[in-house]
Amino acid sequence: MNPKTIRYLSLILAAGIIGFGLSFGFLFGPGWDANGRSDSVWLLCMLVTGLLLLLAFWYGNAPIKKDASSQERIAHNTQRAMTFILAGFILLSFQLLRNQIVITDEISKPYFTPKNELVQDPRIIRQQLTVQRGTVRDTFGNPLVSIEVKDGVVRRTYLNPYISPLVGYYSPLQFGSSGLEASYDDYLSGRSGTNPFVALTRDLTHQPIVGNDLYLSIVPEYQELAQQQLGTQDGAIVLMDAKSGEILAMVGNPHFDPAQLAFDPTVADDLWDAQTREIQKRWNALRDDPKKPLLTRPTQGLYIPGSTFKTVSLSTLLDLGKANPDTLWKDEGKLTVDGAVFNDPNRPDKTRTDWTTTEGYMFSLNAVFGQIGLAIGGADELRYMERFGFNTAIPFDIPVEKSRPFLTTGFLDKRPAQASTGFGQGEILVTPLHWAMLAASFARDDGALPKPILVKEIRTREKALVKATKPEVWLKPLLPETSKTVRDIMIKSATNGYVGLNGGGLQGSGAVVGGKTGTAEVNPQQGINNGWYIAWATKGDRAFSIAVVIDNKRGAEGLTDAMPKANTILKRVLSQVK
């Protein structure tokens, strides 16, 4: 072959192999394990490239003449020897290129050795500790998280134990983060929302990164009141501004305080490990606790809705036009569907057997709503539940669970299941947040479920607005007239129904109130129930909604356990509305 051809061929081949190695060097390790970080393929590429370079240089020199003198031969050899070293320097340059540009993202990620030790760039860890992460503030702008800088390292302290569970923990070195700390990490850490010019200036002058602040819709007074109402009882309370969807209070039990997981990086180096172990211990306890305190109950807790679900059944029935509020239903204290017997102890008058739809709702008659469930039918029950947001993740600022229409597929095909779903037992599971939104929809003129808002605004440390959340509608499940009819029936429930007869109407508060209690059997053998109450109240141009669930309590009743707590909170809220 022509030396020139060999030379160019080997150079082209070498370029190809280097290109391949640079693109895929980390991907093809033994076992195809991306986390293996083996360099074998790349090193092999370099070896082959080196040999090809030598070949190219070898044929790059003009061949020596046959009759060359000893002096000329040595000169020729010397030039060739030089190319050996040159080839080595070329390989070095590629190695530097790879180390400094190509694989930087890959090796900045945490790597865990077989012994589960973390291997990560200490600068990245250090940088995470020096980022002056944004704080979180309540609706009035009071800080819920404080930041203290010592020797460039930032200590993060959680100030309000009532709101902290929503803020979540932030533990970059140990467990990652949760709650708002996780979902708004981009803004808090300053990656998003910072003026690019300011960010570049800070980067070039090696100033610490400053994050943006979150302004929540939470009113600390209501949050504290709600938590006090709940006490140590399992359950959750969500209070919402029905017009804007802003969450004013959101508490749940069991919960945890992220302050106990907050790492203090400003401690002396010798206390560092002890602190890490201590926090690890607390974390393990939280993680292994069978009551799962790490779950945010108001958004991730799933509860059987009981009679509060009758609101959905009623809406479905009226929206489908299968009956009207004055339609009469038979209720003789029990309902038998295909051999399954459902008792109805709720009739205020045990001798009366004919009840209207409205009365069925006001007095929470299971037999009536069992028949309503049958009248709607399984397919439409499911269809309307989905229109109300079941099986869909609510768009929210912290993780949510989807409310479930049933747990076993095909459950609603059976008539007894259709009946029990009609009055809210069945296999339905809902989140307190979802139910607060449901109540809110009937306080609104448009009958829509508002999109819930927890983070109202994001601002820079200097209070410049980065992003404001606008109120939005999430779902509009009903015709406007159906929504108005249901609203009126809810008002009747809160005036003349069981709710109203027990003080749910909030006389003297000056508000229009609609509400529905519910009691769900969790463990009938031991008499353990869920007590529910959902309500809305409008006063002036304000509208509020609330959902209260009392979980896992022996003999719990919505009327006696959940509703008084909601009333206390609503009274306080309404008293502050002009």
Partner 1 sequence: MQITPSVKKKTPLRLVELQLLVAPALLALIGMLIVISVPNQRVGWDAKDLWMTFVFIGLLLVTHLVLTIWLPRSDQLIIPLISALSAFGLIMSQRLETTRTGNIASRQVLWVALGYATFLIVVLGLRNIMLLRRYKYTFLFLGLVLTAAVTVFGQEVNGARLWFRFGIFSFQPSELLKVMLVVFLAAYLDDKREVILSANFRLGPIPLPPFPYLMPMLGILGIALLTMIVQKELGAAELFFGVFLIMLFAATGRASYIIVGLFLFIAGFALIYVLSANIDQLAHVRVRVDAWLNPWPTGQGRSYQIVQALFSFAEGGVFGQGIGQGAPYFIPEVHTDYVMAAIGEEMGLAGALGILGLDILLVYRGFHIALHTTNGFYQFLAIGISAIFGIQTLIIVGGVTKLIPLSGMTLPFISYGGSSILVNFLMAGLLVRLSLERDSKL
Residues in the site for partner 1, rule: CB under 8 A? 36-40, 43, 46, 58, 64, 70, 73-82, 84-86, 88-89, 91-93, 95-97, 99-101, 103-104, 107-108, 111, 113-114, 117-119, 121-123, 126, 152, 206
CA angle (485 as vertex; 479, 491 as ends), nearest 5:
135
Dig out the tokens for 575 from the structure.
Answer: 């008293």
Q: What phi and psi values does residue 226 have, to the nearest 5 degrees? A: -65, -45
Whose Cβ is closer to partner 1: residue 206's or residue 578's? 206
Tell me the one-letter amino acid at 402. Answer: K
Give the separation between CA 41 and CA 28, rounded to whole angstroms.
6
Pair 571, 506: CB distance under 8 Å: yes
Whose Cβ is closer to partner 1: residue 53's or residue 368's? 53
Whose Cβ is closer to partner 1: residue 23's or residue 77's? 77
Whose Cβ is closer to partner 1: residue 199's or residue 501's? 199
Give the separation between CA 395 and CA 443, rounded to whole angstroms.
21
Using CA atoms of 555, 296, 536, 318 in order, give the dihedral in degrees to the nearest 10.
-80
Whose Cβ is closer to partner 1: residue 120's or residue 496's? 120
DSSP states along 364-421: T-HHHHHHHHHHH-HHHHHHHHHHTTTTS----SS--PPPBS-SSTTGGGSHHHHHHH
> CA quadruple 496, 500, 501, 506: dihedral positive or negative?
negative
Whose Cβ is closer to partner 1: residue 27's or residue 75's? 75
Give the separation between CA 96 and CA 107, rounded to whole angstroms.
14
Whose Cβ is closer to partner 1: residue 116's or residue 526's? 116
Give the separation between CA 429 and CA 406, rounded to whole angstroms.
7
Tell me the closest approach of the beta carbon of residue 124 to partner 1, in angstroms: 8
Tell me the closest approach of the beta carbon of residue 173 to partner 1, in angstroms: 14
Tell me the one-letter amino acid at 24. Answer: F
Tell me the closest approach of the beta carbon of residue 573 to partner 1, in angstroms: 51
Give the separation between CA 378 and CA 362, rounded to whole angstroms.
24
Pair 328, 388: CB distance under 8 Å: no
Could you tell me the CA-to-CA distances from 57 to 5, 7, 12, 95 in Å, in that order? 12, 7, 13, 20
Comparing C-alpha atoms, which of 103, 506, 432 is closest to residue 240?
A: 432
Tell me the closest approach of the beta carbon of residue 84 to partner 1, in angstroms: 7
- Which parts of 242-370 are beta strand (E)? 247-253, 328-330, 334-337, 340-343, 354-356
Whose Cβ is closer to partner 1: residue 15's or residue 96's? 96
Whose Cβ is closer to partner 1: residue 122's or residue 524's? 122
Whose Cβ is closer to partner 1: residue 76's or residue 484's? 76
Whose Cβ is closer to partner 1: residue 76's or residue 572's? 76
**Which residues lie below 8 Å from residue 28, measured CB to CB, with a gap of 6+?**
41
Tell me the closest approach of the beta carbon of residue 136 to partner 1, in angstroms: 29
Tell me the closest approach of the beta carbon of residue 277 to partner 1, in angstroms: 17
Pair 556, 531: CB distance under 8 Å: yes
Whose Cβ is closer to partner 1: residue 64's or residue 379's? 64
Give the separation between CA 307 and CA 364, rounded to whole angstroms.
7
Tell me the closest approach of the beta carbon of residue 64 to partner 1, in angstroms: 8
Give the separation between CA 2 and CA 527, rounded to whole angstroms.
95
Tell me the closest approach of the beta carbon of residue 65 to partner 1, in angstroms: 13
Give the separation between CA 460 and CA 213, rounded to whole angstroms.
6
Tell me the closest approach of the beta carbon of residue 436 to partner 1, in angstroms: 48
Look at the block and give the residue holding tokens 């009055």: 423
Give the separation between CA 14 and CA 575, rounded to whole angstroms.
80
Whose Cβ is closer to partner 1: residue 127's or residue 142's? 127
Whose Cβ is closer to partner 1: residue 93's or residue 343's? 93
Tell me the closest approach of the beta carbon of residue 163 to partner 1, in angstroms: 36
Tell me the closest approach of the beta carbon of residue 19 to partner 1, in angstroms: 18
Tell me the closest approach of the beta carbon of residue 85 to partner 1, in angstroms: 4
Tell me the closest approach of the beta carbon of residue 305 to partner 1, in angstroms: 51
Dig out the tokens for 272 from the structure.
Answer: 């560092």
Residues across the chain: 578
Give the separation between CA 119 and CA 266, rounded to whole angstroms.
22
Tell me the closest approach of the beta carbon of residue 560 to partner 1, in angstroms: 59
Q: Are strands 542-554 and 473-475 parallel, antiparallel or unpaired?
A: unpaired
Q: Quote the crossing angle between the two packed helices 310-320 and 432-443, to the nearest 10°.
A: 50
- Which parts of 79-197 are beta strand (E)? 111-112, 118-119, 136-137, 145-150, 153-158, 170-171, 176-177
Q: What is the CA radius of gyration of the chain?
A: 34
